[in-house]
Each structure stands twice: as structure tokens, then as C-alpha cells.
Amino acid sequence: MAINRRDIKGNGRGTVLQQARLWSGLVLLVYATGHFINHGLGLVSLSWMDGMLTVMSAIWSSVPGTVLLYGAFAIHILLGVLSVLSIRSLKMPFWRWFQIALGLAIPYWLVSHIIVTRGSELATGVPVTYLQELSLLWPVSAVKQNALLLLVWVHGIIGVHFWLRPKSWYKDGLLVLLPIAIAVPIVAMAGWMTAAKRELLRLSLDTDGAEAVDMAARVAAVREAVSDYQAIAQGWVAISLSVLLLVFVVLIIAQGFRRRVQVTYGNGLTVDAAPGKTLLDVSRDNRIDHLSVCGGRARCSTCRVLVMSEQDGLSPVGPAERKLLDKINAEPNMRLACQARVQGDVNIRPIIQPKRAVSTPLQSDPFGWGVEREVSVLQLKIKEFRPFVDKTLPYDVIYVLNQLLDLMVEQIEAQDGHVDKFTNDGLTAVFGLETHKTQAARSALYAAARCQALVEGGDGAQQLAAPLKIGIGVHSGRAVIGRVGKSSDQTAPSPVTAIGNVSLIAEALEMVTRRSDASIVYSKYVHELCGLGVANMLGTPSEFAIQGLAGKVEAVMVKNSSPLRKKLELTQS
């Protein structure tokens, strides 16, 4: 089944080690963000920079702050090393290699920066001021400083992106988060460089010259005190990175000499794999499209597979995988490909296919798997349908019913609505699959008014072989949207259906029309979305208790649809 990669909900938190790496990284990113904002204040003044530096120092130089910061730093590095050494496939997505490369480069550049700041304080006993730091960095270390800033920021943002990506709100949240992610490093670089040039110019124009001489002496003292330590520290970091890469290469080469096992996919394709690799790694090694929205961290369930053979060919289910599988009520033979490691021959079938891997006409269908979205639901039923059937010949029943529904569908589709299902006395339609919730509400309500207009009089009424009355309920809200009952090969798609309270409320509002003279009953929420002003001008405001829901639903009962239709046309223009 095809899937919209951005519409998957997050279901899991990953393993304990993955959570530790995530949260230690978030601590470091919080510190870096504050530090970068501090740099950005250089666009205002040096005093603002020093003011925020005082606050930052009070937090992070305290005993709890120091333990938290350096503890997170140590944990993140240690778990990063373990993560690199656990890699069993070189065919990973580009973003993963890019994040690893950034992570390996950061310590080499960062250790020099730490020694110049914290190290100089320890060596000289004099707290580092922003003016001193700017004098140390500008202009000789400007490129290095900006490179380090970008390395840290991009590495952290990649991690945050794949942490938040499975969240249902993340796609909409990107409209706010992406500009912030771009602005922070730009403002930070502009801020510290602007402040450096401004302050050094001020010192050069100082007629007394005492401050400039004092600052030059302090900068020279710091450089002399830490220069040897910088070289030694960077040397050890370079050696450590070299050893890490050497061990990594040895592990990858050694893996090639291990006994091979076979992994068979549902389409009959069989590939060889080295024991210890995850099923996701096996798919990537063999260029088999395998969806993994969270990047293989057990935080979503999109990589899950059905195991068609005995499960002794896979590693046991771990705590993180078990928690996620239980949350989605998975079958006993379902596994997460990012967590299950091959130990012997195994036969699997991936459940969700990336859109590019689907060769059927529905490869671009975002509703092949359930997504959550705010939509508007229109519920339409024929009033007094049973008496009509009892007194009408069978042929005429079907003929009139088809006449009516054809007219209704024409109006619904004209407003970009999608017919969910037909019943023996009406239909259900969904609006908002491709439009904003406001436009969806207006389209649903306008389609309802047009349907009533056709039935109440005009060409539509003349086309019907027998006079009929209809009742319509309309409500808007969040729902699970998907195709229910679709064949596994996706060649015979079922209509899109909306599952949730929005459908329940729309149906309940339609039932109100059966016991009243109202032709349309729509919720107050729909009224507000459409911006229709005073409800009394269009119908009668009412409240209804709906079985299974707490509280009452406010709604508007419309007897004559003409004012509603005209109001919608007027406000649309």
C-alpha cells in the first residue's frame, strides 16, 4: 500500500540507547541555540551580548549546569561512537552519512573552541568576556568559527528533523520551524562578526588607547597559555577518530567473511545477507525500496514486515520494538525491519511500500494508508424513504434513486467533494482532501445548499420521476482518512472514507432533519469556519445531545437553503 511519508504518526520512542542519544543531543542543542542567540545579539550591542552571557554562565557554569552539559556531551559522543560501530550496511541514505560526517568533524573543531574559552579561564583565572572572545576570533578564526557553528547546527537539526518527522503535526509545523532553523545560524554569524568589527573599530579609534593595549595583552596571554593545549587536544581527537574509522573498516570487512543467510521477500525475490544486519539494512544493500520515516530508530512503524516463515531466523524482539508493536496491536508475526536482525534464513513481506516502489496507478495516492486530517463530512439521506419504497414499483425505486444520486454527486464533485459511500437511501461525502479546512467547510455547505435547491425546485426537481425530500447534516473536524477494503495490489481502490467523531456528528445532525422541518443542519463550528456572521439570519441555532459524545453539539437548523446559498456566494466573492 502506498503512503504519504509525512503523514505518519509517531508511535514509539526508540531503544534506551537511542533515547539517551536523542536527549543528550537535545541538551547540547539547547545550549548551542542559546549560545547562537547570544551571538545574534551582537547586531544590537556588546552590552546585550555580555548581559545574556552573564545569564548563560549562571546557568551552565553552575554545578548542575556543568554536570548536565558535560555529561550530555560525554554521553552523546560515547553513544555516537557505538552507533557508528553498529553500522552493518554501507548503503545508507545520504542524510545518515552526512549527519555522521558532521558528528565526526565537530569534536576536532570544537575542542579548540572549548580550550580557548573554558580552558583560558582555568589557565589565567580571568573570566572570558565577549570583547575578549571577539578579539580572539576576528578576523583570524572567523572562517573556523562559522564552520563550527554550521557543523553543530546542521548536525543537530538533522537529528531533530527525524525525531519530529513521524509526528502528525510536524508537516504543518515546518511552516514555522523551517524559517527559524534557517534564521538562527545566519543571525548568529552576522551578529558576532558585526560586533567584532564594530568593537575593534571602536578600540582603534580610542584616543587614549589604554583599553586597546590591555585587550591586546589579554588576547596574547590567552593564546600563549592555550596554544600548546590546543595542538595536543586536536592531535588526540584526530588519533581517536582514526582509530574509530579503522575499527569500523575492520568490522565491515570481517562481516563479509561470515556465513551468508537468505532473505526472501513476498514477491519471490531472494537475496543473500550477512547475519547481524537488520532487515532494513538488507533491503538497502540490495536496493529494495523499504520505507522508514523515522530513519530506523523504532519511533514509527512504517518499516514493519510480516514474517512468513519461522521467526527463529530473526533476533528476539527487544523492549523498544515490543512496546511499539503492542501499541499498534501488531500480529504475532509482525516485526520492525529496523530492529529485527537476521540470524538465519527468513521469508518476509514489507507491509507499506514507498510511493516510488508502487507500480500501479495509485502510486501517488496519499490515502493508501491512514492519515489524519481536518475534513468536512456531508451526510445526505432521503426523507420518508421507507414509505416511498413501499408504494413504488421496484424498477421505479432504483430509477428514481439513481436519478437523485446522480444529481447530488454532480453538485458534490463540482465542489471538490469525494463520495465516501452510497447507502440504500443516501450517501456520505468528504471535503478537504486537497484543500484547507476553511475551504472544505464552505464547499461542503455550499454543496448541501445546491443539492437542496435542486430537489426543492428547478431543473433538478423536474428531472426526478417522483417528488422526494432530502435531509443533510454537515460537520467539520479531524478524522482518519484512508481507503478501507482496498485490494492488496492496489488495482481496485475503494473510495476515501473518514473515520472519527466528525462522521458520527454529521450523521446525527442529518437525523435531526428527519424529525423536524429543517432541510440542512450544520454545526456551529462549520458556521464559524465559513465566516457566515449571525446564525439567526440563516436558520435556527440549536443544541443537540449525541449518543456517545460528552456535552452537546451546537448547530444551525436551516429550513430554506436559498439564503444560505446566497450568503456563501456573497462571502466567497
For 389, the domain range is 371-572
Q: Which residues pair with 346 in a beta bridge?
A: 263
Per-residue pLDDT, 401: 87
Percent with pLDDT over 70 in the chain: 88
Alpha-carbon span 19 to 324, nearest angstrom: 14
Q: Computed from CA positions of residues 554, 555, 557, 558, in that sequence, does the dihedral angle turn out positive or negative?
A: positive
In 402-488, DSSP assigns E strands to: 418-423, 426-431, 470-483
The H helix count followed by the E strand count for the chain is 18, 13
Q: Give me the number of domains the chain comprises.
A: 3
Question: Which among 272, 290, 420, 291 is positioned nearest to 346, based on CA atoms?
Answer: 272
Per-residue pLDDT, 10: 43
Question: Which among 56, 58, 27 is positioned nearest to 40, based on CA atoms?
Answer: 56
CB 298 within 8 A of CB 321: yes
| Residue 136 burial class via C-beta count within 10 angstroms: exposed 0-12, middle 13-18, buried 19 and up | buried
The three grid cell numbers given for residue 327, joined into one nine-digit string: 501499541
Per-residue pLDDT, 158: 93
Q: What is the mean pLDDT of residues 488-500?
A: 65
Read off the pLDDT band of 481 (50, 70, 90).
confident
Pairing between strand 270-273 and 261-264? antiparallel
Pair (350, 397) in one structural domain: no
CB 221 within 8 A of CB 128: no
Q: What is the mean pLDDT of residues 333-355?
A: 85
Per-residue pLDDT, 189: 96
pLDDT at 89 over 70: yes
Per-residue pLDDT, 230: 82
Is the bond preceding residue 394 a cis peptide, omega within 30 degrees?
no
- Return the top range by mean pLDDT from 2-16, 220-234, 324-338, 410-424: 410-424
Pair (225, 241) in one structural domain: yes
In a domain, 364, yes or no: no
Alpha-carbon span 387 to 29, nearest angstrom: 69
Per-residue pLDDT, 468: 82
pLDDT, tens only, 552-573:
999 999 999 999 999 998 887 5
Alpha-carbon span 420 to 418, nearest angstrom: 6
The three grid cell numbers given for residue 79, joined into one nine-digit string: 553513544
Residue 338 CB neighbours (<10 A): 26
Per-residue pLDDT, 33: 96
Residue 76 CB neighbours (<10 A): 22
> Which residue would you say has higher pLDDT here, 171 or 145?
145
From 206, 227, 255, the end of a domain falls on: 255
Alpha-carbon span 131 to 42, nearest angstrom: 11
Question: Which among 284, 294, 399, 394 is positioned nearest to 350, based on CA atoms?
Answer: 284
pLDDT at 530 over 70: yes
Read off the pLDDT band of 369 (50, 70, 90).
low
Pair (351, 406) in one structural domain: no
Alpha-carbon span 365 to 352, nearest angstrom: 13
Alpha-carbon span 369 to 355, nearest angstrom: 11
CB 476 within 8 A of CB 376: yes
Pair (526, 507) in one structural domain: yes
Pair (407, 528) in one structural domain: yes
Pair (161, 285) in one structural domain: no
Tell me how far CA of residue 33 lies from CA of 19, 40, 141, 158, 285, in angstroms. Answer: 20, 10, 21, 14, 37
> What's the CATH code of the domain at 391?
3.30.70.1230
CB 9 within 8 A of CB 74: no
Pair (62, 109) in one structural domain: yes
pLDDT at 365 over 60: no
Q: What is the DSSP string of 272-288?
A: EE-TT-BHHHHHHHTT-
Pair (234, 342) in one structural domain: no
Pair (251, 268) in one structural domain: no
- Return the top range by mean pLDDT from 267-271, 481-485, 527-531: 527-531
Per-residue pLDDT, 379: 96
Pair (315, 247) in one structural domain: no
In a domain, 181, yes or no: yes
From 10-24, 176-190, 427-441, the region with the lowest mean pLDDT: 10-24
From 73-77, 249-253, 313-317, 389-393, the region with the lowest mean pLDDT: 389-393
The three grid cell numbers given for residue 529, joined into one nine-digit string: 469556519
Question: Which among 196, 142, 188, 193 is positioned nearest to 40, based on CA atoms?
Answer: 188
In a domain, 206, yes or no: yes
Per-residue pLDDT, 491: 47
Q: What is the mean pLDDT of residues 432-439?
A: 88
Q: What is the mean pLDDT of residues 407-421?
A: 92
Q: What is the mean pLDDT of residues 23-33?
A: 95
Pair (283, 394) in one structural domain: no
Question: Which among 208, 205, 187, 207 is positioned nearest to 197, based on CA atoms?
Answer: 205
Per-residue pLDDT, 526: 95
From 355, 384, 404, the end of a domain falls on: 355
In a domain, 185, yes or no: yes
Per-residue pLDDT, 362: 38
Fill in the DSSP letter of residue 168. Answer: T
Per-residue pLDDT, 553: 93
> What's the CATH code of the domain at 309?
3.10.20.30
Alpha-carbon span 442 to 550, nearest angstrom: 26
In a domain, 129, yes or no: yes
Residue 146 CB neighbours (<10 A): 16
Determine the residue type at 280: L
> Which residue would you say has higher pLDDT here, 303 or 463?
303
In 244-399, DSSP assigns E strands to: 261-264, 270-273, 304-307, 334-336, 346-350, 371-382
From 289, 320, 355, the end of a domain falls on: 355
Per-residue pLDDT, 260: 86
Pairing between strand 346-350 and 371-382? unpaired
Phi-psi region of 435 (alpha: psi -120 to 50; beta: other; left: phi over 0): beta
Question: Which among 78, 63, 65 is positioned nearest to 27, based on CA atoms?
Answer: 65
Q: What is the mean pLDDT of residues 380-402?
A: 87
In a domain, 136, yes or no: yes
Q: What is the mean pLDDT of residues 214-224?
A: 80
pLDDT, tens only, 147-200:
999 999 999 999 999 888 877 788 888 899 999 999 999 999 999 999 999 998
In a domain, 285, yes or no: yes
Q: What is the mean pLDDT of residues 485-510?
A: 75
* Residues contacting 265, CB < 8 A, separation 6+: 271, 288, 348, 349, 350
Read off the pLDDT band of 366 (50, 70, 90).
low
> What's the CATH code of the domain at 201?
1.20.1300
In a domain, 366, yes or no: no
Q: What is the mean pLDDT of residues 1-7?
A: 37
Question: Which among 83, 152, 171, 81 is positioned nearest to 111, based on CA atoms?
Answer: 152
Element (H, E) at 540: strand 540-545
Pair (345, 378) in one structural domain: no
Q: What is the pTM assigned to this prediction?
A: 0.55
The three grid cell numbers given for residue 540, joined into one nine-digit string: 435556527
Element (H, E) at 554: strand 552-558
Read off the pLDDT band of 321 (50, 70, 90).
confident
* Residues contacting 387, CB < 8 A, separation 6+: none
Per-residue pLDDT, 364: 45
* Residues contacting 284, CB < 8 A, separation 6+: 89, 91, 92, 93, 290
The three grid cell numbers given for residue 8, joined into one nine-digit string: 505518519
Read off the pLDDT band of 540 (50, 70, 90).
very high
pLDDT at 459 over 50: no
Q: What is the mean pLDDT of residues 114-126?
A: 71
* CA–CA–CA angle 443, 448, 449 (5° rounding): 100
Read off the pLDDT band of 42 (50, 70, 90).
very high
Per-residue pLDDT, 550: 79
